[in-house]
Amino acid sequence: MSLTPFIEDCGGVENIARVLVPDERLIFEVRNPTLIQGNIEGSQFNDTLSQITYRSFPTPASEELLNLGKGIAKYQLAMAEDFILPVDCDYRPLWHVSPPKGLLNDPNGFIYHNGEYHLFYQWYPFSCAHKDKHWAHLTSKDLVNWQWQPIPMTPSDWFDSHGVFSGHAVSNGEELMLFYTGNVRIDEQRDRHTTQCVAVSKDGIQFEKKGPVIFDLPPKVTPHCRDPKIVKHNDEWLMLLGAQREDLKGRLAIYKSDDLVSWTFHKLCGDEMGDFGYMWECPDMFELNEQLLVVVGPQGIESDSQHHTIPHHNGIAKAVLSDDGDITLSEFRNLDHGFDFYAPQTMLTADGRRVISGWMGLPDEDDHPSVDSGWIHQLTMLREMKFVDGKLIQMPIEEMTSLRGEQHKLSLNNSGADLQTKSFDLTTTLEWGSTLSLFKGEAHQLDIRLDSESRTLFLDRSKTEVRQGDKVRELALTDSEQVELRILADTSSVEIFINQGEFVMSSRVFTPKQATGIVLEGQAQLDIWTLNAADKPFADKMA
Ligand code: FRU
């Protein structure tokens, strides 16, 4: 059955905001209901959703639906044009990736392909809300300066109408393939449908959606099944998905393929973790120094700390992968101990380093001061991961030194200084009992307090302008005689690398623009480099 009469009946492609095809229904969400002609018998209009439903509609040829998706995408891209111009804002980072407008969440599709680095992210351009996600796209030659690229995917199709959700990329010869989750919501009760989809690019810039490669859910799994990661294993491909079992336990779903097109469900893995959260999001898997590791974001685990009330965690576990493709996990630990780190992705650099970037933000928190200027959240800086003597180490990628400006050597003894910038790279070693305050102004500061009795580092943002979330994070460092810190600050964030990268704390920190002071209660030498701005990603768009 051709789509054409239905498209005409509802006022043409330009009037279609979404297309849905659940169980023999064809549903169009329309922009302007008065343009509906109503010539097709049996159609029904739902005012609340602004959706017209045509019944007994056998699924039409997917080529025709894909073409309709292209038509809808054209309109969505035109709407997003105004939102790719960044708004000026005192909280705007100088060298972190932040959205021009709207809301950023997970990094996606992080990969080295054909001589360039590609980094995508989840993006809702039109407001600071978690709504129909697009992918944004940046490329880089040096991992420091990123160039904005045309929007690669919008929620234009029947399989991703309510969000082109997270996923990874595969560099397949000349082709760049994006695997992602299509998120669809049906009817007023918003029934969730998820499929695993693929889009392909020949030039690394223009992507063509091919539609779902996995249409059905694994047995006994709820529609919370998403965020594909593809890895090569022996002669086959494995797809790892974050999944929720029907008994509300988070697990990893594993699929297998010979050709990246046809996928067969293998099994659910992770039972050895027991009751470990109600959902696992955004898996990743890679080897570091011959140790296989799996990254996953379990939701709904209680924290040991009374200060930590957020259900969304991030972490990494040791993994064993059998020849059959079964994954067994052990020794889960947090990847980051700050306030804001979630849904990370890793990538192998051209020279073989494993580099990670996460979302410096959290689900459920979408009201912070930058919202007043129309944007929220950013990605963390890129960190190199190593596995040394059984320990995971994360440190800033060495390329970060290219942003270094002036060097200051400060000797502080219960004293302070004005750095006159909030963008710096600071190294120091502190004694227990010291408190280092950063981003300090008249009434604001971020405190890093080393409590000598409990040998615990407290990161305290209660004297900042943060609007939601916890105020204190704690990290026990019982074995440390002193605490070595490397802190990279950028306008509205700090990333604190502790004891040569054994622990990291990432946090957004909002204080007024003039709050550029630094104060140390205690005594220490501080080696500080100011950090210059990276090239503007939107350079060719800016006047
Ligand atoms: C994690 C997440 C993913 C999902 C995406 C949607 O933050 O919930 O599981 O694919 O965000 O934006």
Q: Which two tokens stand for residue 156?
A: 């234009």
Which of the residues are catalytic?
106
Q: Whose CA is nearest to atom 1 of ligand 1?
A: 343
| CA distance linking residue 496 with residue 474, whole number of Å | 13
Asked if residue 395 lies in contact with residue 383, where contact means CB atoms within 8 angstroms, the answer is yes
Give the contacts of 143 (CB within 8 A, at least 6 positions apart). 117, 349, 355, 382, 397, 399
What are the sequence ranges of the domains in the chain? 3-60, 99-215, 401-531
CA atoms of 206 and 331, how far apart (whole Å): 41
Q: Which residue intervals of 134-228 are DSSP H helices?
A: none
**In the structure, what pLDDT confidence band is assigned to residue 361 with cuts at 50, 70 and 90?**
very high
Q: What is the pLDDT of residues 163-172, one digit of tens each?
A: 999 999 999 9
Is the pLDDT at 1 greater than 80? The verdict is no
Whether the predicted pLDDT of 542 surpasses 70? no
**Closest ligand 1 atom, CA of 242?**
9
- Centre of ligand 1 to C-alpha 262, Å, is 24
Residues whose CB is less than 8 angstroms from the CB of residue 104 and which lie 6 or more positions away in sequence, other chains included: 97, 98, 121, 122, 123, 136, 359, 361, 375, 376, 377, 378, 379
With a Cβ cut-off of 6 Å, ligand 1 is lined by 105-106, 122, 133, 165-166, 181, 226-227, 281-282, 342-343, 363
Label residue 540 by pLDDT band (50, 70, 90).
low
State what percent of residues in the chain have pLDDT above 70. 99
Residue 207 has pLDDT above 90, yes or no: yes
Pairing label, strands 435-440, 446-451 = antiparallel
Is residue 500 scored above 80 in pLDDT?
Answer: yes
- Measured between alpha carbons, how far is 315 from 328 in angstroms, rounded to an integer? 15
| Residue 543 confidence class, pLDDT cut points 50, 70, 90 | very low
Ligand 1 centroid, distance to 165 Cα (angstroms): 6
Q: Which CATH class is domain 99-215?
A: mainly beta
Mean of pLDDT values over 13-22: 96
**Phi (first) and psi of residue 529, to 5 degrees:** -110, 130
pLDDT at position 106 over 60: yes
Q: What is the pLDDT of residues 372-389, one digit of tens each?
A: 999 999 999 999 999 999
Atom of ligand 1 nearest to the CA of 167: 10
What is the per-residue pLDDT for 541? Answer: 56
Tell me what the mean pLDDT of segment 91-114 comes to. 98
Q: Is the pLDDT of residue 525 over 50?
A: yes
Task: Return the pLDDT at 254.
Answer: 98
Per-residue pLDDT band at 539 (split at 50, 70, 90): low
Could you give the C-alpha distances from 377 to 101, 128, 398, in angstroms and in order?
A: 10, 9, 24
Tokens of 67: 């073409």
Task: Kindly report the three-state secondary structure assignment for every residue of 360-387.
Answer: ECCCCCCCCHHHHHCEECEECCCEEEEE
Answer for the pair 316, 293: CB distance below 8 angstroms, yes or no: yes
Q: Tens digit of pLDDT for each residue in 230-263?
A: 999 999 999 999 999 999 999 999 999 999 999 9
- What sign results for the dihedral spanned by CA atoms 322, 325, 330, 332? positive
Residue range 26-83, pLDDT digits in tens: 999 999 999 999 999 999 999 999 999 999 887 777 899 999 999 999 999 999 999 9
CA of 189 to the centre of ligand 1 (A): 20
In ligand 1, the atom with minimum distance to the C-alpha of 165 is 10
Over range 180-185, report the average pLDDT: 98
Q: Is the pLDDT of residue 418 over 60?
A: yes
Q: How far apart are CA 474 and CA 310, in angstroms?
A: 14
User: Cα of 447 to ligand 1 centre, how many Å?
Assistant: 31
Give 281's strand partners: 297
Ligand 1: residue whose CA is nearest its atom 8: 281
pTM (two decimals): 0.97
Q: What is the bridge-based pairing of β-strands 493-498 and 483-490? A: antiparallel
When pLDDT is averaged across residues 449-466 and rounded to a whole number, the result is 97
Q: What is the largest CA-CA distance in the chain?
A: 82
The CATH homologous superfamily of the domain defined by 401-531: Exo-inulinase; domain 1 (2.60.120.560)
Whose C-alpha lies nearest to ligand 1, atom 12?
165
Percent of the chain predicted with pLDDT > 90: 94
Each residue's pLDDT tens digit, 392-413: 999 999 999 999 999 999 999 9
